[in-house]
Structure 1
Amino acid sequence: MNKILTGAAFVLCSAVSLHASAGGNIDSGKAVTVKYGCASCHGADFNSPIDPTYPRIAGQHADYLAHALTAYKRGGDAMNGRSHAIMGGMAKPLTDKDIADVSAYLASLPGSLARVK
């Protein structure tokens, strides 16, 4: 029984690990940000938002960006969802591939965020 549980845990961890390391396409992500006009709020460089309450997303960690976009897509009433009138509407039509691509693109940009090593 232990061998079965150990094997199942290994397979599950491997699948999660592969999913987590799968990156998006930077060029496709750039196209998605243009299509949805992300720069209109977050700034042309994604580091100069039009409102100080909007986040600077250039150079942010891709996994965080993907998590945030997925949460906005789920909405505030869903488990692990986020409620925001603008971002909810922007994220709703995004596919999982779009989210991975946008996250990869934004993470590739130079930003002013401090990274802890």
Structure 2
Amino acid sequence: MTTVSLTRLAIALAASLVLAACSSGDTPAEHSSADRAEGHTSSSAGLPAGHIDAGEKLAHAKGKATGQSCVDCHGEAGNKPIDPTYPKLGGQYYDYIAHSLEMYRDGDREHALMSQQAKELTDQQIADLAAYFGSRPTQLRDLKNAH
């Protein structure tokens, strides 16, 4: 095997392990049907229950720091980012979105726009945004059958 082949194999293996670890996470689908029917979720980060309706309103609200809303950059329902380097959020794991927003807010993850956007978010707002984007149809794909 060539060095390039080994590197690709190592990357694919690492990505598979990360995806497998994420798949056992806390997603809105794993909550009781009554909670899901009301748009409630919970977080391994200790956040309050997220509310899909509140998250949808927040996703469309313009942020003070940049004048942009979540959907301005990530697209309606989080599936049409304006820049190919921006992630698709629709259907993403609830906890991944929540932890990412907390890290931007707390300065543990840096991005020129996201750090400013998340700086003023409360725990409830983070939970609501995670519930909304996590509940949207997904265009995310895993590496199953990737060659």
2 CA distance for matches of 1:61 and 1:30? 16
Written as runs of structure 1 = structure 2, the 5 A alignment for 1:1-117 is 20=44, 23-36=49-62, 37-75=69-107, 81-114=108-141
Aligned-residue sequence identity (percent) comes to: 45
How many pairs does the alignment contain? 94
SS at match of 1:64: helix
TM-score by length of 2: 0.59
2 CA distance for matches of 1:68 and 1:106? 13
Larger RCO (alpha carbons 8 Å, 6+ apart): 1
1:83 maps to amino acid: E
The answer (yes or no) to whether the contact 2:58–2:125 under 8 Å persists in 1 is yes
The answer (yes or no) to whether the contact 2:53–2:132 under 8 Å persists in 1 is yes
2:122 maps to amino acid: T
SS at match of 2:77: coil
Which ranges in structure 2 are unaligned for 5 or more consecutive residues? 1-41, 63-68
1:86 maps to amino acid: L
Q: Between Structure 1 and Structure 2, which shows a larger proportion of helix residues?
A: 1
1 CA distance for matches of 2:71 and 2:77? 7
The alignment's C-alpha RMSD in Å is 2.0
- How big is each residue's C-alpha offset from its partner over 1:32-74, in whole Å with a ceiling of 9 and x where there is no partner? 1111311111012311101100000000000000000000001
The answer (yes or no) to whether the contact 2:43–2:94 under 8 Å persists in 1 is no
1 CA distance for matches of 2:135 and 2:142? 14
